[in-house]
Structure 1
Amino acid sequence: MYLLYTHNDLDGVGCGIVAKCAFGEKVEIRYNSVGGLNLQVERFLEKGKKKNYLFITDLSVNEANERGIDEFVKSGGKVKLIDHHKTALHFNEYSWGIVQVEYDNGKLASATSLFYEYLIQNGLLQPTKSLQQFVELVRLYDTWEWERHGELQAKRLNDLFYMVSIEEFEEKMVERLAGDAAFSFDEFEEKILDLEEEKIERYVRRKKREIVQAKIHDHYVGIVHAESYHSELGNELGRENPHLDYIAIMNMGGKKISFRTIHDHIDVSEIAGRYGGGGHAKAAGCSMTEEAYRLYVAGSFPIEPMRADAFKNKFNLKNSEFGSLYENRKEQSLFIFNTDNGWAIDVDGSELDESFSTFEEAERHAKRHYAVWLARDEVYIGYLMEQMSARRTRSLALV
């Protein structure tokens, strides 16, 4: 008998679907949250049934279970832990650990792709065209390579996953992957996925108005409360606010925090690790510990939401040769303009000592340190008229 303990997201359930294709009714699958795995493993080790073969995928065990598994395997038990998270690399020190973050060709690995390849290499599964395509879609979505390559089918697969129960999704996929035809969605699924896409767009648009900016542990963070569509929301908020180091999404009902970043120099798995969580460099999560609650929820509660940049302007434009005007809730005016020495920032009539080589660097500084947004055209015109009037007054005073 085979046992599979795996995560309850698309990548984890992808492992379950692959296991069903390989073992049929000879496998018992249990889908777990990050916090639920260790209790399952403890119970398995207590029973000590060496005739069962345990696979653990897309999740890591704690130190106690790590020692317990190692002793169990040394005494003749059969366990394989297959994962792709950087925080799990130390399991490669054991004979029962298989952890790989990326392939030799530079592609990022997923738990589903690693498990699929393991089963094929060990003669436990016959590859098919449809199964290979399914596994690749899961990998593309879980690693976020789908966006870079424009593989919308991967995102739609994840959307479908969250629209039905795990049991229904698993049943649908196992049945669909039984043949060797190309993987595709049926007509009904295409229709409801189109509707879901519209729903996601409306949800993200609403949440954009609720994001707040805070400084936490030397990072500038965008904080928003949301229970759905974390990946889409985190990615969109990150792209619209590149001055923020990462986005933190609060799920108060689930008492969890999701972290997302678009930057290569930020590793949110390290941030999640501070609170007992983990994940990938650009997507990670943790339970809402007391410290995390204090920093991300209580600490940010009094902060007003960020204002979006004016987007219908004809005159006050970014990177303008005439300068760009920004404002904030403190009623400060920041004017970014080009000089012979680069880009400069004027704050309420006083020019900062620091200069910047590009407009983007100047804007990033202004947004991070002053929480500003691009002002509307009428404010910009009023500002320029005021500056011209002040300059004329100074000129007359010198005559």
Structure 2
Amino acid sequence: MYRLYSHNDLDGVGCGIIAKIAFGPEVLVRYNSIGGLNYQIERFFERNHKDDYLFISDLSVNEENEKRIEDFVKSGGEAKLIDHHKTALHFNKYEWGEVTVEYEDGRLACATSLLYGYLKENNKIEPTRTLDEFVELVRQYDTWEWEMNDNNEAKRLNDLFFMISIEEFEERMVERILSRESFTLDDFEEKILDMEENKIERYLRKKKREMVQTFIDGHCVGIVHAESYHSELGNELGKTCPHLDYIAIINVGGKKISLRTIHNNIDVSEVANQFGGGGHAKASGCPLTEDAYHLFLADVFHLEPMRPDAFKNIYNLKESNRGVLYENREEEKFFIFPITDEEWIIEWDGLHINESFSYFVDAERYVKRNHSAWLVRDEGYVEFLMENVMTMKKKMYSWEETAEMNDKTFAYPSKDDHEDGKTLYR
């Protein structure tokens, strides 16, 4: 008998589907959360399944179970741990460990593709075109290559996974892989997925308005509470708010945190590891521990949600040479404008911030990270410009009156005669 303990996401269930195709009724599959695996492994050894082949995929065991597996193998048992997270690389020191983050050709690995490769190498499964296509869809989704490759079919496969039960998904995929010459979703699945996409869009719009922003351990973090669509939400918020280093999605009911980033220089698996979790550099998760609760919930409870940028503007547009206006909840105004082709400056309530930026995006990042500001709607922008024009006109008029009076005495004011000489002197 084969026993497979795998993760309960698409990649983990993909491993279960591969195992059932390879071993049929001779395999028993159990899907687990990150925190639930070790309990299952403990039960495996307590019940003395010494004649069963132990498979673990897409998850890692703790130190106690690591030692149990090593003793099990040394005493003649058979086991294999297959994973693709860099936090699990230390298992490669064991004969029973096989952890690969990236293939030699540069493609990122997933647990489903690694298990499939292992079973093919050991003549435990017969490869087919349909099976190859299914495995590649899972791999591209789990590594987020689907977005780079614009492979929407991989994303829709994951959407379908979350729309139906694991048992039904597993049954549908096994039957499809065994009976078809090519892997595709059927018409009914496509129809319900179209309906689901509309639902997801509404959900994402709502959650965007609920996100708060703070700094945690030097990282600028967006925090939002959500029970569903964590991957879609993390990806959308990351793209909408690129000034954030990563997104933390809190599921209080499930007592877990999902971490997502779009930046290559940020590794959220390191953040997750601090709280007993792990995962990929750009997508990880961890349990909602007491320390995590204080950092991501209690300490930010008083914060107001971020306001989204205005999105129907005609005049107040990002990178505009006429200047771009932002505002925050303290009603402070930040005006970003170019003084040369390669230098942008920021005026904060009329005062120049003592720093310039080579690109608009850098200036905007500064304003958003440090002041939680948003792009103002057109009407606010026009009002701001009108007020500034009137201020300049009044100053100019005041200067001309002064000059006219000095004309009568044949004396003109110098730049030093005025408090704001740079504005009045000409």
Q: Shorter chain as normaliser: what TM range?
A: over 0.9
Name the structure 1 match of 2:374: 373
Name the structure 2 match of 1:387: 388
- The structure whose Rg is larger is 2
1:296 CA displacement:
0.8
1:180 CA displacement:
4.8
Name the structure 1 match of 2:411: none
Where structure 2 has 5 or more consecutive residues not aligned to the other structure, the ranges are: 403-426
1:393 CA displacement:
2.5
* 3-state DSSP of counterpart to 2:334: strand
Name the structure 2 match of 1:351: 352
Q: Deviations over 1:246-292 (max 9, x none)?
A: 11111111111100001001001111111111100000011101111
1:395 CA displacement:
2.7
Name the structure 2 match of 1:196: 196
CA–CA distance in structure 1, aligned partners of residues 240 and 50 of structure 2: 53
Q: Deviations over 1:185-215 (max 9, x none)?
A: 1121111111111111111111111111111
* 3-state DSSP of counterpart to 1:271: helix
Residue 396 of structure 1 aligns with an amino acid whose one-letter code is Y
- What does 1:38-187 correspond to in 2, within 5 Å? 38-187=38-187
Residue 137 of structure 1 aligns with an amino acid whose one-letter code is L
Residue 189 of structure 1 aligns with an amino acid whose one-letter code is E
- What does 1:318-329 correspond to in 2, within 5 Å? 318-329=318-329
* 3-state DSSP of counterpart to 1:235: helix
Q: What is the RMSD computed on CA atoms of the aligned residues?
A: 1.1
Q: Deviations over 1:205-258 (max 9, x none)?
A: 111111111111111111111100000011001100000111111111111110
* 3-state DSSP of counterpart to 2:354: coil
CA–CA distance in structure 2, aligned partners of residues 334 and 51 of structure 1: 69
TM-score when scaled to structure 1? 0.98
* 3-state DSSP of counterpart to 2:104: coil
CA–CA distance in structure 1, aligned partners of residues 242 and 78 of structure 2: 47
CA–CA distance in structure 2, aligned partners of residues 363 and 200 of structure 1: 29
CA–CA distance in structure 1, aligned partners of residues 92 and 284 of structure 2: 21
Name the structure 1 match of 2:301: 301
Q: How many residues align?
A: 399
* 3-state DSSP of counterpart to 2:309: coil
CA–CA distance in structure 2, aligned partners of residues 378 and 82 of structure 1: 57
Q: Deviations over 1:53-103 (max 9, x none)?
A: 100000000011111111111111111000000100010011100000111
CA–CA distance in structure 2, aligned partners of residues 38 and 113 of structure 1: 23
CA–CA distance in structure 2, aligned partners of residues 281 and 360 of structure 1: 24
CA–CA distance in structure 1, aligned partners of residues 242 and 61 of structure 2: 35
Name the structure 1 match of 2:412: none
- What does 1:263-302 correspond to in 2, within 5 Å? 263-302=263-302
CA–CA distance in structure 2, aligned partners of residues 376 and 32 of structure 1: 47
Query: Does 2:13 align with 1:26?
Result: no
CA–CA distance in structure 2, aligned partners of residues 30 and 382 of structure 1: 62
- Alpha-carbon contact 1:48-1:72 (below 8 Å) kept: no
CA–CA distance in structure 1, aligned partners of residues 153 and 297 of structure 2: 35
Where structure 1 has 5 or more consecutive residues not aligned to the other structure, the ranges are: none
Percent of residue pairs bearing the same amino acid type: 63
CA–CA distance in structure 2, aligned partners of residues 315 and 193 of structure 1: 37
